[in-house]
Amino acid sequence: SVFVPVGITEDFCGEVLLEGSLQLLLGRGIGVARGVAELQDGRTVVLVTNFRNEAQHLTKGAAVGQVEELQNSAAVAAITDEFSPPQQDSASPAQLDIDPKLPGPKRRQLINLLAEYRDSFATSSKVRQTTVAKHRIVTEDDARPVHRSPYRVSVKERQAIQEQVQEMLNDDIIQPSSSPWASPVVLVKKKDGTLRFCVDYRQLNTVTKKDVYPLPRIDDTLDRLRHSRYFSSMDLKSGYWQIEVDERDREKTAFVTPDGLYEFKVMPFGLCTAPATFQRVMDTVLAGLKWQSCLVYLDDVVVFSSDFDEHLRRLRAVLQAIRTAGLTLKPSKCRFAYDELKFLGHVVSNEGVRPDPEKTRAVAAFPAPRDKKAVRRFLGLCAYYRRFVRDFARISAPLTHLTKDAEKFEWADEQQQAFDELKRRLQTPPVLGHFDQDAETEIHTDASNAGLGAVLVQVQEGTERVIAYASRTLTKAERNYSTTEKECLAVVWAITKFRPYLYGSPFRVVTDHHSLCWLANLKDPSGRLARWSLRLQEFNMTVVYKSGRKHSDADCLSRAPVATPSGSSDDGDDECFLGAVNIDDMARRQRDDPELRALIEHLEGRGSTVPRVFSRALPTFAIRQGVLYKENFGNNNSPWLLVIPTDLREEIFQACHDDPTSGHLGYSRTLARIREKYYWPKLPKTVHLYTRSCHECQRRKKPPTRPAGLLQPIPPPTAPFQQIGMDLLGPFPPSTSGNRWIIVATDYLTRYAETKALPSGTAVEVAKFFIESIVLRHGAPEVLISDRGSSFMAQLTQEVLRLSHTSHRRTTAYHPQTNGLTERLNKTIADMISMYVDVEHKTWDEVLPYVTFAYNTAVQETTGMTPFQLVHGRKVTTMLDAMLPHEPAVDASDDAQVVAQRAEEVRQLTRLRIQAQQRVDTGRYNLRRRDVHFQPGDRVWVWTPIRRRGLSEKLLKRYFGPYKVLRRLGDLNYEVMPDGTRTSSRRPPRPEVVHVVRMKPYYAR
C-alpha cells in the first residue's frame, strides 16, 4: 500500500467523498481506499493497495475513482504523504513512524488499519474541539477580576506577539475581548531560538478553586506494561486546544498585549486546573479501555499488548474512541507497533523498565553544584529515577543534608563522592523487571543508622528479577530507635511502600536479622510495636529468618533464588514473638545479666549471694516458667512485674517515653507507665536520668521552676541626658507624609522623651536623629543603650557615636528588658497615638508631636515630677495657663545661680527617688526569680525564638544546643559557643553573648 497524489479537472477546495474505481479493482487488483478527503486546489492523496503478488504501474492521468462534494459536513482531516500541499502535515500510514523491524504482512495490516482512521490525524494547523467536556474556571466567591498591564517588550518581541495573535485568530483559537480580566503575555525562548507565546496566569490561579482530579501515578502506569511485546504511542495535536473553555469563563482567560485584549475560546496553557480537566477528558474518552488496552497520561496515549493481533484490536478500539470524541492526533508524534518505547521518561520493553538514556545524560552532564539551589536541582533530577538505585537515600544523604536551611553550603569530599556515585549509578542503571501477579514475591529489607532500604524481588521463569528499589533516611526520632526497632521499621515501611504489589497475594519477608521475626507472632502488643503489628495484619506474609550462612549478600543485584530453609516450622528456633523477646530468649538474657543471674541462682537454690539491691525485697521475687518476676503490690491489674535485664532497658524507655503513644511525658508519668508491667533496681533514679537527658524534651520544654536571673537595675545617671536609651518603633502603615517608623529616645534620669517620625529605619535616619534631636539639643550623652538592630550596629551609627565620645551599650539578643525604660516608653507612645489616629491610620505621624509633649509634661510616678520640669528647671506653660491666671513658673527675683542650684537639688532628689523605687522593684521581682550561675566549660541549652514559614510557632522547638560556656561576663550575661560535638550546623562556630534567662543546663545521655 502506498499513498498516491491525485487530482480532479477543476480547482476545487473542500471536502469530498472519494470512491475507488471498481473496474480498476476487478481488472487489475488495485484498490483505492474509500473515505473522506480534503481537496486543496483540486489535489489530494489516496491510499492505493496492490492485491497481487507482482509489481504494477499506474500511469499519470489514469482514473482511479470518483469524488462527490460533501455539504455541511463535519470537519475531518485527510491523511496525506510527502506530495501533499505544503500547508499539510505528512501523515500517511506509509510515512507514520512504524517499527522498521515489523515484518511485511504485519506492517500492511497496520497500514490498512491506520488508513481507516486517517480522519483522526491532523493535516493542518487547525484543530477541532471535542464535545466530551468544556473547561470551567471556578474562582473564589470573593475574587475580584485580576487586571494586569502588558509587560514592556522590544520591537522584535512585539512583532512576534502580533504574528502569533493573528495566527490564533485565524485558527479560531482566540477572539477579541472586552473582559474585566487581563493577564500579561510573556515570551519564552525555545531551544531553537524561536519565541514561545505564553500567558502569565499566576494571579488568576491564586483566586481559582483547585481541581483535585488525580493524575495517574507514573509507577502504577509503568507497572501495567508487563508481558507486553508491542507498544504504540499517540499524542494529541495541541491537546489543550481541543477542549473548549465554557462560555461563562472565557472572559477569565483574557490576556492583554500592547495592541489589544483577547480571550481564549479553547483551554490555554498555564491554568492551574487545566491538567485535571485534560486528564478527566481523556479518562472519559477512553473509559473501559484504560488500564486494560491502553494507558493515558495527559495527552500521551500508549496501546500495549503481548501479541500482534491483540495489538491491532486494541489499537482499533482506541482510535475509534478518539474519533468518536472528535479528538485529533499529531502524526509526527505517533509511533506504532514498536517492541521498545519511551514513555514518561523511561524506556519500556518486554524485558522491563529502565531510565531514558536521554534523560540520564542530563545527570552525567550536571556540573558540581556551587550552591544549595543547584544541589536541590540535581537531587530532583536524580530522585525521578530513585527506584533504579539501590540505597539511594544512603548514597544521597551528604547532599540531602546540605539542602537544609540551617546548613552552610560547603562542598567537601563527602559531597563530591556522593555526587559522583549517583551520576555513575544512573548512567549504568539496571533493567527492572515488570511485576507478575502470579510469580513468587519477596521483599528484602535493611536498616542502618542513616536510613532504610528495601528491594522488591520476584522469581520469574527460574530467574530472580529486581522489580523495584526503595530507600529513605531516618527521622531524628527514628535514629534513636534500637537496632531491633530499626529493622522492624524497615519491614513495616517496605511493606507499606510496596503495598500496591503485595496486597491480596502471599509474599515473604527475607531477613538476616533474627529479631525481625517478632513481626510474625505478636502476642502482647503495646505502643509502636502494636501499631506496626496491626498494620501488617491485612497482608498474607511470611517472615523468614536466614542466617548469614544461608542468606546471600543483600547488596548483590543478581542472586540465586532464595528458598525457605529446610526443616523450618512454627516451633523452630527461628520463630519468635514481637514484644521484645520470647520466653526462652528472656530467660537467657536475664541469666546473662550479672546481677539478675545471682538472684536467679539464689532463688533456684544454688546458693549464690544475693546482690544488696534485691535483699530487702527478696521474698517478692519468683521464677515463673523460667523467667524472673517481681510481685506487684500496686493498684494495677498485673500481679507480677517482669524483671528487665540491663540490655533491654533502653528499649523499654523508648517504648514508654519516646514513642508517640507515650508522648515524651515527664518523669512521674513515665515512671508510672513502666511500673505497670516492669521492674528493675533503682527504677525511679534511672527514669529520672533518662527523662532529664531526653534530647527532644530538652529542646522543647521549659524548666518547671522559676525563671533564672535576678534583677540588676541600671544605676541612674547624675545629670540629664548623660545616659539615654534609643529604639525604633514600627513599621506602621505609611502615613500621608510617607512615614513608617518612629524613633524614640528617653533620658534615664529625667525620663524626658524625644521622638520623630521616619520614612525608613535605616542607619542614616538613626544617625541624623541622634545628631539633630539629641546632640544639638541636649549635648552628647556619655552612654547610649539600644538593641542589636542593624540600624544601631551599622558602621555609620558607630562612627557618629565615636565622634561624639558616646559609649554604646547593647542589649543581649532576645532580651529587650535590658533597655526596659525605652520599651515601656514605646508602649506608652503607641497607646497614646491610638487614641487620636484616624480610621485608616494615615495621620499617626501628625499626632506624634502632641502625644510626646503630653508625655513630657505629665508627672512621672517614680520621680514625682514632669520630665519637662527636670530638664528645663521650670514648669511648662500650656495654652490653658495662658487663658487662666497662674503663678509664674520662676520667681523673677531669683538670680541664675539660685535657679541652677535649685534645679540641681531637684535632680539629685530625683536620683534618690529612682534608686529607692529600684530597691522596691528589685525585691518584688526577685521573689519570682532564681539566682542561677554557670561555670566556664558547662554545657547549656540556649532558648532562641524562631519562625518557619508554613509551620506553627506553637509546635517548634525553641532550645538549641548544646552550647559551651566560655566565660562569665557578669551576674546575668555569659559568652557561649556552639559545642561542635552536637551542633548540626556546618558554619564555623562563633561566640555569642546570651542572658541567663535564655539558658538552661544540658544533660547528656
Residues 960, 1000: Cα–Cα separation, whole Å: 10
- Compute CA 461 distance to the chain's CA centroid, rounded to the nearest angstrom: 42
Q: 382 vs 145, which has greater pLDDT?
A: 145
Domain borders along the chain are 2-120, 155-350, 364-427, 440-545, 583-692, 723-810+824-903
What type of residue is 253?
T
C-alpha cell at 249: 469563563
Euclidean distance between CA atoms 598 and 621, whole angstroms: 13
In this predicted structure, what is the pLDDT of residue 359?
A: 52
- What is the value of pTM for the model shown? 0.39
CATH number among 2.70.40, 3.30.160, 1.10.510, 2.60.120, domain 2-120: 2.70.40
> In CATH, what class is 155-350?
alpha beta
pLDDT tens-place string over residues 770-792: 999 999 999 999 999 998 888 89
Q: Given a cut of 60, is residue 221 above it in pLDDT?
A: yes
Task: Report CA-CA distances (Å) from 438 to 460, 504, 557.
Answer: 9, 12, 22
User: pLDDT value at position 859?
Assistant: 87
Residue 678 and residue 652 in contact, taking contact as beta carbons nearer than 8 Å: yes
**Out of 899-903, 979-983, 1000-1004, which region has the weakest mean confidence (pLDDT)?**
979-983
Cβ-proximal residues to 955 (8 Å cutoff; 6+ apart), any chain? none
- Residue 279's closest CA among 295, 297, 266, 293? 297
CATH code for residues 364-427: 3.30.70.270
For residue 720, is pLDDT > 70?
yes
Does the domain at 583-692 match CATH 1.10.340.70? Answer given as: yes
State the DSSP string of 140-200: -TTPPPPB-PPPP--HHHHHHHHHHHHHHHHTTSEEE---S-BEEEEEEE-TTS-EEEEE-
Is 70 exceeded by the pLDDT of residue 616? yes
The answer on pLDDT for 179 being more than 90 is yes
Angle between helices 820-834 and 844-856 (to 10 degrees): 120
The length of the chain in residues reads 1005
> Which is more confidently placed, 722 or 636?
722
Domains 440-545 and 723-810+824-903 alike in fold:
yes
pLDDT digits (tens, 9 = 90+) for 820-878: 788 888 888 888 888 888 877 888 998 899 999 989 988 888 888 889 988 887 888 77
Q: How far is the C-alpha of 574 from the C-alpha of 565, rounded, in Å?
A: 10
Residue 965 falls in which region: left (phi positive, over 0), alpha (psi -120 to 50) or beta? beta
Tell me how far apart the alpha carbons of residues 3 and 48 are, in angstroms, rounded to a whole number.
Answer: 6
Name the most confidently modeled range: 235-244, 381-390, 885-894: 235-244
| Domain covering 723-810+824-903 in this structure, CATH number | 3.30.420.10
Residue 988: its pLDDT value, please?
Answer: 66
Q: Quick: pLDDT tens for 259-297.
A: 899 999 999 988 878 888 888 898 888 888 877 788 887
Distance CA 726, CA 933 (A): 30
User: Would the pLDDT of 433 be above 70?
Assistant: no
Quick: pLDDT tens for 72-115.
Answer: 332 222 222 332 333 344 345 546 788 888 888 888 888 889 88
Q: Report d(CA 284, CA 396) in Å as an integer.
A: 41
| Reported confidence tier of residue 358, pLDDT bands at 50, 70, 90 | low
Q: Is the pLDDT of residue 523 over 50?
A: no
In our burial notation (b when 16+ CB lie closer than 10 A, e otherwise), range 111-147 reads bebbbbbbbbbbbbebbbbbebbbbebebeeeeeebe
CATH 3.40.190.10 fits 440-545, yes or no: no
- Per-residue pLDDT, averaged over 656-665, amounts to 80
Going edge to edge, which strands form the sheet with 30-32?
Answer: 2-7, 43-50, 30-32
Considering only residues 145 and 30, tell me which one the structure prediction assigns the higher pLDDT: 145
